[in-house]
Amino acid sequence: MVEYRGYSRRPSDPGVRHKVMTASPAEIPAAERPSVLYAITDGSVTIEDETGVSITYPLAAGTLLPFSPVKLTAVVGTIVGWR
Protein backbone atom coordinates (compact mmCIF):
# COMPACT_ATOMS: atom_id res chain seq x y z
CA MET A 1 0.00 0.00 0.00
CA VAL A 2 1.32 3.44 -0.90
CA GLU A 3 1.26 5.97 1.92
CA TYR A 4 1.73 9.68 1.51
CA ARG A 5 2.91 12.07 4.20
CA GLY A 6 0.03 14.18 5.46
CA TYR A 7 -2.61 12.01 3.80
CA SER A 8 -5.22 10.31 5.93
CA ARG A 9 -7.94 7.93 4.82
CA ARG A 10 -11.52 9.19 4.71
CA PRO A 11 -14.69 7.12 5.17
CA SER A 12 -15.48 7.65 1.47
CA ASP A 13 -12.17 6.13 0.32
CA PRO A 14 -12.27 2.60 -1.12
CA GLY A 15 -11.67 -0.26 1.30
CA VAL A 16 -8.18 -1.69 1.70
CA ARG A 17 -8.93 -4.38 4.32
CA HIS A 18 -11.71 -6.91 4.80
CA LYS A 19 -12.65 -9.49 7.39
CA VAL A 20 -15.53 -11.76 8.32
CA MET A 21 -17.45 -10.11 11.14
CA THR A 22 -18.54 -12.01 14.25
CA ALA A 23 -20.81 -11.04 17.12
CA SER A 24 -19.21 -9.91 20.36
CA PRO A 25 -20.27 -8.07 23.52
CA ALA A 26 -17.04 -6.03 23.26
CA GLU A 27 -16.66 -2.82 21.27
CA ILE A 28 -14.80 -3.03 17.99
CA PRO A 29 -11.60 -0.97 18.44
CA ALA A 30 -11.96 2.34 16.56
CA ALA A 31 -8.91 1.58 14.39
CA GLU A 32 -10.51 -1.72 13.27
CA ARG A 33 -14.12 -0.60 12.68
CA PRO A 34 -15.31 -1.27 9.15
CA SER A 35 -16.91 1.59 7.24
CA VAL A 36 -19.12 -0.77 5.22
CA LEU A 37 -20.73 -4.14 5.94
CA TYR A 38 -21.39 -6.56 3.05
CA ALA A 39 -23.70 -9.58 3.24
CA ILE A 40 -22.17 -12.65 1.59
CA THR A 41 -25.27 -14.71 2.43
CA ASP A 42 -28.82 -13.89 3.49
CA GLY A 43 -29.04 -13.15 7.19
CA SER A 44 -29.21 -10.33 9.69
CA VAL A 45 -26.93 -8.23 11.83
CA THR A 46 -27.61 -6.38 15.06
CA ILE A 47 -25.55 -3.21 15.16
CA GLU A 48 -24.90 -0.94 18.13
CA ASP A 49 -24.04 2.68 17.34
CA GLU A 50 -21.94 5.15 19.33
CA THR A 51 -24.93 6.19 21.47
CA GLY A 52 -25.67 2.60 22.52
CA VAL A 53 -28.73 2.16 20.28
CA SER A 54 -29.03 -1.33 18.73
CA ILE A 55 -31.01 -2.11 15.58
CA THR A 56 -31.33 -5.43 13.75
CA TYR A 57 -31.07 -5.21 9.97
CA PRO A 58 -32.25 -8.09 7.78
CA LEU A 59 -29.80 -8.44 4.89
CA ALA A 60 -30.14 -10.20 1.56
CA ALA A 61 -26.97 -11.61 0.00
CA GLY A 62 -25.18 -8.82 -1.86
CA THR A 63 -26.46 -6.02 0.38
CA LEU A 64 -24.06 -3.18 1.25
CA LEU A 65 -24.70 -1.45 4.56
CA PRO A 66 -22.65 1.79 4.71
CA PHE A 67 -22.38 1.95 8.50
CA SER A 68 -19.46 1.84 10.93
CA PRO A 69 -20.64 -0.23 13.92
CA VAL A 70 -19.35 0.19 17.46
CA LYS A 71 -20.51 -3.37 18.26
CA LEU A 72 -22.06 -6.29 16.42
CA THR A 73 -24.15 -8.05 19.04
CA ALA A 74 -25.72 -10.66 16.74
CA VAL A 75 -24.79 -11.98 13.29
CA VAL A 76 -26.78 -14.51 11.27
CA GLY A 77 -25.24 -15.48 7.94
CA THR A 78 -21.86 -14.35 6.66
CA ILE A 79 -21.15 -10.63 6.95
CA VAL A 80 -17.86 -9.04 5.84
CA GLY A 81 -16.55 -5.68 7.02
CA TRP A 82 -14.62 -3.42 4.64
CA ARG A 83 -12.22 -0.79 5.93
* Domain range list for the chain: 18-82
pLDDT value for 14: 72
pLDDT tens for 15-25 read 788 999 999 99
pLDDT value for 51: 97
pLDDT value for 22: 95
Those residues of the chain that have pLDDT short of 70 are 1-12
Nearest 5 degrees, angle CA 59-CA 64-CA 65? 80
> Quick one: 28 exposed, middle or buried, by C-beta within 10 A (0-12, 13-18, 19+)?
middle
pLDDT value for 77: 96
pLDDT value for 15: 74
Q: What is the CA radius of gyration of the chain?
A: 13
